[in-house]
Amino acid sequence: MSQLVQIMRTLRTMPPLPNVAQRVLQIVRDPEYSMDTLVQVVRTDPALTTRILKLCNSSLYGLAQEISTVATAVAYLGSRNMVKLVLVSCTASYFKAVKTTSFGSAAELWKHTIAGAAACQFLAERCNYQQPSTAFTAGIVHNVGKIALSQVVDDAAFAAALATRSHTAPYVEVERKLLGLDHATAGGIVTESWNLPSDLRRAVRNHHDPALIESDGDLTALLHIADHAVLGMGIGVGIPDLDYRPLPEALGKLQLSEADLVAVREHVAAELVRSAELLNLNGIVGR
| pLDDT the model gives residue 82 | 82
* Contact indicator for 216, 138 with CB cutoff of 8 Å: no
Q: Measuring CA to CA, which residue among 26, 233, 211 is closest to residue 119?
A: 233
* Contact indicator for 95, 283 with CB cutoff of 8 Å: no
Q: Output DSSP code: residue 16.
A: P
| pLDDT the model gives residue 1 | 56
d(CA 179, CA 9): 14
- Per-residue pLDDT of 21-70, as tens digits, reads 889 888 888 878 888 898 999 999 998 888 878 877 776 666 677 888 88
| pLDDT the model gives residue 241 | 63
Q: Which domain holds residue 210?
A: 3-286
What b/e sequence results for 126-163 when a residue is b if at least 16 CB atoms lie within 10 Å of its CB, and e otherwise?
A: bbebebbbbbbbbbbbbbbbbbbbbebbeeeebeebee
Provide the residue type at 61 as one letter: Y
| Domain tally, the chain | 1
- Per-residue pLDDT of 255-276, as tens digits, reads 999 999 999 999 999 988 877 6
C-alpha to C-alpha distances, 255 to 132, 151, 171, 222, 261, nearest whole angstrom? 17, 38, 27, 11, 12
Of residues 79 and 23, the one with the higher pLDDT is: 23
Q: What is the domain-level CATH number for residue 182?
A: 1.10.3210.10
d(CA 233, CA 123): 16
C-alpha to C-alpha distances, 183 to 25, 43, 99, 242, 256, nearest whole angstrom? 23, 35, 16, 17, 26
